[in-house]
Homo-oligomer: A and B are copies of this chain.
Amino acid sequence: MFYHIKELQYNARPDRPDPVYAKKLQEILGGQYGEMSVMIQYLFQGWNCRGEKKYRDMLLDIGTEEIAHVEMLATMIAQLLDGAPVEEQEAAAKDPIILAAMGGMNPQHAIVGGLGARPDDSQGYPWNARYTIASGNMLADFRANLNAETQGRLQAVRLYEMTDDPGVRDMLSFLIARDHMHQLQWIAAISELEEKEGLVVPSTFNQQYEKQEVSHSFMNFSKGTESAEGKWASGATPDGKAQFEYIENPEAMGQIPELAPAPTHMHGTPPPGKLPPKNL
């Protein structure tokens, strides 16, 4: 169960309206790697957690924090929309600065939202649940979480560079710091699990059942071997259990597919030689 308090986790107050920037800021609210994504992802991982209690508690703590981040962003966006040019004005239609602002706005901010934030990304595409994952395997999911915080901080930093509004930057400096923490947090949690389980997920699958001769081979599917120059192509594997192998000219190991004809009631293309019963 949840409680709300009226104060924001951190200040969200722009120095001046900026409806064009409001459109951009939607990306880290309702985009693929926005705060809604981590909020839903952490909450579902917590609710579905079948592991130790400390994991469930931790996931729900951080998921609960993310709701507060969505709240901060929504509040900021609503204020950036104050003073948006959303009324017919003869003068405006001739001022290219206002015109550009109108063209750069998200029209739904006015028409649909009445100058409010929306659970969408910077293109107006609605947030959807396929952005998230809760797999029941915590090492798998913590890697998803590290990825989300990494992309999320990258986007927040880019948005920081796109404004000079001190109030917006102040709020972003907080979110960027939290993403910093959350990256470190997932790295720590991952290392705790990798120490127990090893690096390859899922650790519980008996590796004798996989085709082990290709478990450490980098396959070069192109002319030229620049791809041989990285740590992924030679030397010890990160788990220290094998050596990477570089296969310069990987050969096909499978059959040439030949599919059986479909049964007649499927009405696919008739096999050659078989006249279609055109007017039977």
Contact = CB atoms under 8 A, between A and B. Distances in A.
Interface residues of A, number: 204
A61 interface: yes
Given A24-B111, A259-B78, A269-B50, A4 B231 contact: no
Nearest to A105: B103
A277 B204 contact: yes
Q: In the complex this chain forms, how many copies of it are found?
A: 6
Contacts of A162: 86-88, 110-111
Contacts of A3: 2-5, 64, 221-223
Contacts of A49: 259
Nearest to A197: B276
21 contacts: A4-B60, A4-B63, A12-B254, A32-B133, A40-B119, A55-B230, A58-B227, A58-B230, A75-B259, A123-B124, A123-B125, A124-B124, A139-B150, A153-B200, A154-B202, A157-B205, A158-B265, A177-B211, A183-B201, A197-B270, A206-B277
